[in-house]
Amino acid sequence: MGEKGTGKRYRVRTRDVSGQMVVGDDNVVVAVHGAPEDASEAADAGLESLRAGFAALRERIDQEAGDRTHTAARERIDELEEAVTAEEPEVSTMVYVRRWFAKHLPALAGAVTTLIVHPFVGGLVEHAGDAVAAEFSRHFGGDGGAGE
């Protein structure tokens, strides 16, 4: 199985666009409409969105990873999901998994980073305290994952 979508370029011209626009192949867009009634609803929606992102990435792995990397990629994603949803997120695991994908399945590295910098994960990192937040920021930046 090849690296689907590599080398493609898109030129997009728009006028009078109001709202979101998504360009490319195999994009997953999750939207939550309306204001949650309480904080637990917001947390549930955030976790649901994150889990949907993991499910979509697993599907991409099933479609795009070769025989040599498929099992290892699925294992890394399981590790990542556990690390980002832990009571104290494990930043070192996040870094390791992102590096693994950059080396072994670079076409999916961006999707992995998107999960790591997901707003729900950001909330967990912030809640975990200054030391975890500082480590996360050092590796993934405070500007949406531009670090390291």
Fill in the amino acid letter for 31.
Answer: A
How far lies 17's CA from each of 23, 30, 57, 112, 139, in Å?
Answer: 14, 19, 29, 28, 34
pLDDT of residue 44: 78
Q: How confident is the model at residue 148 (pLDDT cuts 50, 70, 90)?
A: low
Q: How confident is the model at residue 54 (pLDDT cuts 50, 70, 90)?
A: very high
Give this prediction's pTM. 0.68
Spatial distance between the Cα atoms of 89 and 110, rounded to a whole number of angstroms: 20
Using the CB atoms, write b or e for 91-113: b if 16+ within 10 Å. bebbbebbebbeebbebbbebbb
C-alpha–C-alpha distance, residues 148 and 144, integer Å:
12
Q: Quick one: residue 16, left, alpha or beta (phi over 0 = left, psi -120 to 50 = alpha)?
A: left
pLDDT tens digits, 5-42:
556 766 767 766 666 666 666 666 655 555 555 656 66
Task: Taking residues 59-78, report their average pLDDT.
Answer: 93
